[in-house]
Structure 1
């Protein structure tokens, strides 16, 4: 009988849950559960230690000002935080979300090598909220990335085929047991990731994993902890039910989990960095009300901890490539003739979709990085639609990556409809109209 495991951020519960981790995970738990953690590279300027309150106190990322080349956000009192955000990508993300007529959503894009956040955009109706920092919505099939890591660690090979039947919209008890009479379709673990095949992930989790193994992978990837960042981030949550069917459903991405857009990008960032979790930063420096610099961020890349071995991270990247090559994101990353919008750039991604029958929300995610062989950017896009929809998370991700690579001058990549590029001296991306084509 599996023992129920719930992953929470509170230090006391973290301490109580340590026995479910393997020995080499304990250092990460200790690392992430501290208010201030040790990192490699340069430490923050000592000026911060003398400030009361600290330099980054009350950083308000719900009210980002992107009207100038240097994007800013208000902080405590009359302080101003100058952000790492790139004006081209920040304005593009905001424009895509607004024109998509969504209920709410967010985009977080981060430089893989430095951890500098390039886009941090939230959209909702009503009073502005920092949705990118909220862990409100279910992880959905993005959970398959966590489960995939645990399965690789459990020795499941990438090239072995597993047969299945059903599971498109749910998992039942009978789906967990192989049945030669019913299981007429077969796929490798990579294709199962790309096509988000629920039965394969649920069945393999039931056969190969337990709460200790799956919980360990989730914790090492940051679920349940306040990951170090310049602003408070709600911890993403994973609860692993005791009951067999619900455990398998959770492993496949059906409820019992939540995810913030920040944490989604952090998972992609970790896989892109070959299993090393690095610190993301969104603040370059903080100015007082007189415009004097009172704090500056370290310039060097800061590595927090290796959380996956390099082989596991490599395997995840290969599995996630299938999402764009022939899986759930194929249509949004290719034209009607099957030609890629971003040619000669391999892309690793994972979609997630869940419907909330109580309020009618359609929750969609895209999480990934590109190029998958030499990563430059990690990206997450959350889109919540209520009623008829125009775009999903995968559309937002496709457009953002097209803008990124077109802006970088990548051969064969053009801007998506509605964008003609932006001069880097403060001009907003020009839209070809207020409406986007229904997709």
Structure 2
């Protein structure tokens, strides 16, 4: 064999070897990934041939499959589509499972999850298409309704948790959308609806409760700063903190004022207790610099910052800028600079305080059931972290009660119930716009609901939409629905 033929044979052999490796890699190692890719028509055709499992809230389906007389056989329907759109997501033949449980729990709903194998074995043996599993959610319908209606046509989000278990009682993001418009078998109409939703500047497909662009928390982050101070054993609720009209950030000529330019106490100092109650910016700017970025970051991480979660919806990690310089650390003390959070994370902070310092892992699916409603799996409450001591939690609770009873959170008060809370007004960008926040829990002495509310700035220029004015009344309606459940 001459040299050119030998070289050609080697090249051809290498090409065949590469082809075999590629086929093996695709068929065995990438099979699951390719099968789960949104919009995979072969997978969708297979799944449309079987009945997809229902999603239930208080025993009522918010998503279920109905039989059709066309080739796709089943169509996904959403009875309260707009109220639960960011919980359920959508299931579309054109675009696959959309963000929500339809995507994050797709294998269970489609009946293809490995945990269902033995239950589906009889179907496999007789050649019958298996049905998907049914998901019973932790959502409380009354709390979800209160959150949805209270938020109204404002952009923002509401998250409510059971502090003792982590069960998600409400998860609302506005603007919302109707998932029925994407699950229709009129594919032209589906395409038009998706293009309209995906290009809408208000981003209705974004779940603001668990992700999106994240928000500056403003003064609700003062709960984390106060927790770090109390945990350091260098401060207690009666510790006197500087409270000038303006606090000059270290190494700069820039200063931060108190809200409205007012004094926190009428004196040069005020207690940590009153600094929380009246949300004193200058005290917390100073306190953040005393504690330092590392201490604040450690406390934030104890509440869950820096960690992504699956509830099973993906929750984007909130962040504290640990590499901030001294001036920037002062700004983080009032929840500004580069502190960024999800409403889920803020709800976890309040829930941890309400639960005696113990943060529970949030979860959305209570029970997975077969079509006959026999139990397949039940979620057990799990501790996420001991964020603070019981003593610190009690001290923070007393401060938060004062915020509602005699501070900026009075509009969150529920008649006959003691509410603990904290307001926040978070500036962003360069135009002076601000988001409104409220977080808290009730009843303060025996909490069964913790809530976080964020309302996005309605205008490019701030027009007085503080957390106490805008977000607190929304929280009030959610807390009232929760304590009465």
Same-fold status (TM-score > 0.5): yes
Q: How does 1:356-367 map to 2 (within 5 A)?
A: 356-358=428-430, 361-367=433-439
Give the deviation of 1:389 after TM superposition: 8.0
Partner of residue 109, structure 1: 160
Paired residue total = 330
TM-score normalised to the size of structure 1?
0.67
Q: How does 1:226-375 map to 2 (within 5 A)?
A: 226-227=308-309, 229-286=311-368, 295-298=376-379, 300-330=380-410, 332-333=411-412, 341-343=414-416, 345-358=417-430, 361-375=433-447
Higher helix share: 2
Partner of residue 140, structure 2: 86
Deviations 1:143-178 (A, max 9, x none): 1111111111222121133342224999975869xx
Residues 85 and 157 of structure 1, relative CA distance in 2, 3 Å threshold: same
Moved runs in structure 1, 4+ residues, more than 6 A?
64-68, 168-172, 291-294, 388-391
2:341 and 2:249 mapped to 1: Cα distance?
A: 20
Give the deviation of 1:234 after TM superposition: 0.2
Question: Contact 1:238 / 1:258 at 8 angstroms: preserved in 2?
Answer: yes
Give the deviation of 1:393 after TM superposition: 1.7
1:158 and 1:227 mapped to 2: Cα distance?
A: 33
Question: Contact 2:288 / 2:332 at 8 angstroms: preserved in 1?
Answer: no
Question: Contact 2:305 / 2:320 at 8 angstroms: preserved in 1?
Answer: yes
Unaligned runs of 5+ in 2: 1-31, 39-54, 64-87, 89-101, 111-131, 176-201, 257-264
Question: Contact 1:140 / 1:255 at 8 angstroms: preserved in 2?
Answer: no
Deviations 1:231-285 (A, max 9, x none): 2110001103442221111122222111111111111111111111212221123
Partner of residue 231, structure 2: 153
Question: Contact 2:248 / 2:255 at 8 angstroms: preserved in 1?
Answer: no
Q: How does 1:108-257 map to 2 (within 5 A)?
A: 108-124=159-175, 125-134=202-211, 136-154=214-232, 155-167=234-246, 184-207=267-290, 209-227=291-309, 229-257=311-339
Structure with the greater alpha carbon radius of gyration: 2
1:168 and 1:162 mapped to 2: Cα distance?
A: 12
Residues 194 and 168 of structure 1, relative CA distance in 2, 3 Å threshold: farther
Structure 2 residue aligned with 1:395, among 456, 473, 478?
Answer: 473
Structure 2 residue aligned with 1:385, among 457, 461, 466?
Answer: 457
Secondary structure of 1:269's match? helix
Deviations 1:63-93 (A, max 9, x none): x887973555334164553311111111121
Question: Contact 1:285 / 1:293 at 8 angstroms: preserved in 2?
Answer: no
Question: Contact 1:147 / 1:214 at 8 angstroms: preserved in 2?
Answer: yes
Deviations 1:311-359 (A, max 9, x none): 22222222222211211112x13xxxxxx5423x222211111233446
Secondary structure of 1:362's match? strand
Question: Contact 1:321 / 1:346 at 8 angstroms: preserved in 2?
Answer: yes
2:481 and 2:340 mapped to 1: Cα distance?
A: 29
Deviations 1:12-62 (A, max 9, x none): xxxxxxxxxxxxxxxxxxxxxxxxxxxxxxxxxxxxxxxx89xx999xxxx
**Higher relative contact order, chain-length normalized (CA < 8 Å, sep 6+):** 1
In angstroms, what is the RMSD of aligned CA positions? 3.3
2:162 and 2:324 mapped to 1: Cα distance?
A: 39
Unaligned runs of 5+ in 1: 1-51, 59-63, 177-181, 334-339, 409-439
Give the deviation of 1:404 after TM superposition: 3.0
Secondary structure of 1:131's match? coil
2:437 and 2:345 mapped to 1: Cα distance?
A: 12
Once the two structures are overlaid, the 10-residue window that deviates more, 109-118 or 141-150, is 109-118
TM-score normalised to the size of structure 2?
0.61
2:144 and 2:221 mapped to 1: Cα distance?
A: 27
Residues 127 and 294 of structure 1, relative CA distance in 2, 3 Å threshold: farther
